[in-house]
Structure 1
Amino acid sequence: MQVRLHHQTVNPQAYQTMRKLEEFVKSTGLDPILYELIKIRASQLNGCSFCLDMHTKDIRRMGESEQRVNLISVWREVPLFTDKEKAVLELTEAVTRIGDGGVSDALYAKVREHFSETAFIALIMAINTINCWNRIAISFGMFPGCYDAGAKRSESAE
C-alpha cells in the first residue's frame, strides 16, 4: 500500500487548521474517554482504518478495557456503556450519517439530559473534527503504520 501524499508536509497550513480544531475540542473540557469513543465510532462508520487504529490504541493507553473497546460498534447490544456514553455514541452516529435524517428532537433531548448547551456544542465540534480527520485520511490513502519506516509514498502526485 502507498500513501497518496503526506498532507502535513504538502500543505502545513491545512494541517495546522485541523490541529487547531483538535486543540479547541480538547480545550472544552470534554471527557477524554468520551472523545475517544466519538473518534472510534465515527471512524468505524466511515471505514477509516488509520484513525480507528490510532484511537483504539489511544483509549487502551487511557486504561479502557479490551471488552469495551471491542464492543463499541455494538454499543446498543451490551450493558457496558453508561446512558451518557450511549447518548454520545448515538449522537455520533446521527451526525456522522447526517444525511440519513439528521439529529432528531428526541435525540437532542436525550443528549441534553447529560450535557449543557455549551457541552452539546463541544460534542458537535468533536464529532465534526473526527469526521474531517477521517475524510482526510481516507482521501490521502492513509492506513495503519503508513508513517512507519518503510511505508511507501506515492511520488506521482507531486
Structure 2
Amino acid sequence: MTPRLEPIEEPDEPEIQSAYRTMRQEFGTVPTPVKVVTARMSESLEVNRMLQKFHEGIQLEPELKLVVGMFTSEINGCGFCVDLTQSEAIREDLDMEKFDALTEYQASPLFSDRERAALAYAEEVTCQKNVSDATFEALCEHFDEQAIVEITWLNAFQNYTNLVNIPLGIESDGLRAIAQSETQMEHEE
C-alpha cells in the first residue's frame, strides 16, 4: 500500500533537510511519516522532538515501554508503528520472541503478571477508551501511581501516532529488516 499523499523525497526547508539526514543515519532511511507529514507541516518537527524527549524520560523499563506501544499499534493496525517498535527492540538487543507473541500475552509464559496487567490496561483503553475497575485494580497490584500514569501516557501517545499514520495510508518501511541487517553486520565484525 502506498501513502495517500506522495512522500516528499527532497524538501526545500533546511531544517527538514537536516532532519532527513539525521533519520537516514538513525534508521537507514527517512521514515515515511517524516516524508508525508513533517515535510508538509514543518512545525510538527519541534512537537515530535519534544514528545520524543518526554517519551525517553519515562522511567518504565525499555522493554515494557516498547511492548505496550507495539501492542497498542497492533490493535489499531498501524503497520508503520509496529515496524518502528520492532526495529527499536532489535536495536536495544531485546528478545523478539516476546514481541512476536503479543497477541497471545494473556496465556503466553513469555509474559509476567505485571506485563499482562499493563497490556490488558492498554488493550482496554485502546478498544474502549476506558477501563473497568477490575482492570485498573489489576494494574494497581503491579505498578505505583507514577508508573500507571506513564503507561497511560504511552498508550495515548501510541494511539496519537497511529491516528496520524493510519488515515494517511502510512505502512511499514521495512525498519525491522534494516535493524536486523545492521545488527547482523555488527555481530559479524
Match of 2:147 in 1: 119
Match of 1:152 in 2: none
Please report how far the alpha carbon of residue 122 of structure 1 lies from its aligned counterpart in structure 2 after TM superposition.
1.1
Please report how far the alpha carbon of residue 127 of structure 1 lies from its aligned counterpart in structure 2 after TM superposition.
0.4
Distance 2:50 2:125 in 1: 21
* Residues 73-152 of structure 1: pairs in structure 2 closer than 5 A: 73-99=103-129, 102-145=130-173
3-state SS of the aligned residue for 1:77?
coil
Distance 1:22 1:86 in 2: 25
State which drifts further: 32-41 or 12-21. 12-21
Q: Give the residue type in structure 1 aligned to 2:42.
A: P
Structure 2 unpaired stretches of 5+: 6-35, 176-189
Structure 1 unpaired stretches of 5+: 148-158
Q: In the alignment, which of 33, 36, 39 is matched to residue 69 of structure 2?
A: 39
Q: Give the residue type in structure 1 aligned to 2:104.
A: V
Query: Can you list the C-alpha shifts for 1:6-43, whole angstroms capped at 9, x where unaligned?
Result: 11111122343244233223213121111100111011
TM-score in terms of structure 1 length: 0.82
Query: Can you list the C-alpha shifts for 1:122-150, whole angstroms capped at 9, x where unaligned?
Result: 11110000111111111222122289xxx
Distance 1:139 1:18 in 2: 19
The answer to whether the Cα contact below 8 Å between 2:121 and 2:131 also exists between their aligned partners in 1 is yes
Distance 1:15 1:4 in 2: 20
Match of 1:53 in 2: 83
3-state SS of the aligned residue for 1:64?
coil
Query: Can you list the C-alpha shifts for 1:95-132, whole angstroms capped at 9, x where unaligned?
Result: 11124xx2111111111122111221111110000111
Query: Can you list the C-alpha shifts for 1:45-94, whole angstroms capped at 9, x where unaligned?
Result: 00111111111121132222232121111111211101111111111101
Match of 2:28 in 1: none
Q: Give the residue type in structure 1 aligned to 2:2.
A: Q
Q: Give the residue type in structure 2 aligned to 1:134.
A: N
Which structure exhibits the higher relative contact order, with contacts defined as CA atoms closer than 8 Å and separated by 6 or more residues?
1
Query: How many positions carry a matched residue from both structures?
Result: 145
The answer to whether the Cα contact below 8 Å between 2:89 and 2:96 also exists between their aligned partners in 1 is no
Q: CA RMSD in A?
A: 1.9
Match of 2:98 in 1: 68
